[in-house]
Amino acid sequence: MTGQKALLVLEDGRVFTGRPFGAVGQTLGEAVFSTGMSGYQETLTDPSYHRQIVVATAPQIGNTGWNLEDSESRGDKIWVAGYAVRDPSPRASNWRATGTLDDELDRQGVVGVAGIDTRAVVRHLRSRGSMKAGVFSGAAAEAPVDELVDRVRHQEPML
């Protein structure tokens, strides 16, 4: 995915540019954040995050990979609509890992963005409140920004 870009677009027009992580494409949802320093697999598989784009505040994510034992839901289903991280680990370093986080996101079709300043995203959300968001990568990220913001603003409401 070298050279490709991915975007986290918020409904107020703020855009964070990074690189693709997980599946490539488009996803829409409500931007939320997780402040946990560990437990990313439990967060991703928690049904309470359905239709939400989770921004991980821990700087490095994925170093223990993905395994078949640490999910919150049955069948290892990832419930989040999208995932935004700063520095994803390129390898899994855990004896229980059955694969990498990036590979699992791709396998389950979860569009993500890596390489963004997640602390800045969280500060923005804390000061402006909850808002709709979208993650766009590959061909979807090539659309004009105003069109992407429009897609985010006109998505189905969370209520």
Dump strand ranges (E) for 2-152.
6-10, 15-22, 26-34, 52-56, 60-61, 82-84, 87-88, 111-114, 131-137
Amino acid in position 36: G
Assess contact for 78 and 51: CB atoms under 8 A: no
pLDDT at 97 over 80: no
CA distance 135 to 111: 7
User: What value, to the nearest 5°, has the Cα angle with vertex 70 and ends 114 and 95?
Assistant: 85
- 10 Å CB burial of residue 2 (0-12, 13-18, 19+) is exposed
pLDDT at 91 over 60: yes
Amino acid in position 49: Y
pLDDT at 152 over 90: yes
Structural domains in the chain plus CATH codes: 6-153 (3.50.30.20)
The percent of residues above 90 in pLDDT, for the chain, comes to 70
Assess contact for 112 and 20: CB atoms under 8 A: yes
φ, ψ of residue 88 to 5 degrees: the values are -75, 140
DSSP structure string for 71-101: -SSGGG----SEEE-SEE-SS---TT-SB-H
Q: Of 73, 68, 78, 84, which is closest to residue 105 (Cα–Cα)? A: 78
| pLDDT tens, residue by residue, 69-86 | 766 666 779 999 999 999
φ, ψ of residue 40 to 5 degrees: the values are -65, -35
| pLDDT tens, residue by residue, 22-71 | 999 999 999 999 988 788 889 999 999 999 999 999 989 888 888 877 66
Residue 90 banded pLDDT, cuts 50, 70, 90: confident
Identify the pLDDT of residue 47.
92
Q: How many CA atoms lie within 13 A of 4 on its CB side?
A: 19
Identify the pLDDT of residue 68.
76
Identify the pLDDT of residue 2.
54
Assess contact for 116 and 86: CB atoms under 8 A: yes
